[in-house]
Amino acid sequence: MNDNGIRVAALDDIPVGEGIAIDRSVTGTADDIALLRDDDGTVWALDDTCTHDTASLSEGWVEGGCVECPRHSSMFDLKTGAVQCPPATEDTRPHRVEVHDGDVYVFPNEQP
């Protein structure tokens, strides 16, 4: 395991199809990080703030490889952070994630 990884949650803390927010004080990032678990059980990490209107992406809906913002329905690709549906026009930042022995580690500012 890479020494830059930060344990941020247990895998069981993130329901399939949903997300949780990890406070920036834990990760040392400029923004909170959304941990998002897709329908296959894979965990992804994006900056938690929607680039359109500052809503929390961890409170959005996860399906089809995207997270949908709960405020105005912008959609972001879970792997790349790329905008998939307006009104957002700016991508959000992804972060590398690894799961080891049921624990979730984020590698802040490292691409997946």
Per residue in 23-76, pLDDT tens?
999 998 899 999 999 999 999 999 999 999 889 999 999 999 999 999 899 999
Count: domains in the chain: 1
The model's pTM is 0.92
Domain that holds residue 14: 6-107
Alpha carbon distances (Å) from 7 to 16, 59, 105: 19, 21, 4
* pLDDT, the chain, mean: 93
Q: State residue 110's pLDDT score.
A: 84
Alpha carbon distances (Å) from 22 to 4, 56, 86, 88: 16, 11, 25, 22
Asked whether residue 90 is assigned to any structural domain, the reply reads yes
Asked whether residue 46 is assigned to any structural domain, the reply reads yes
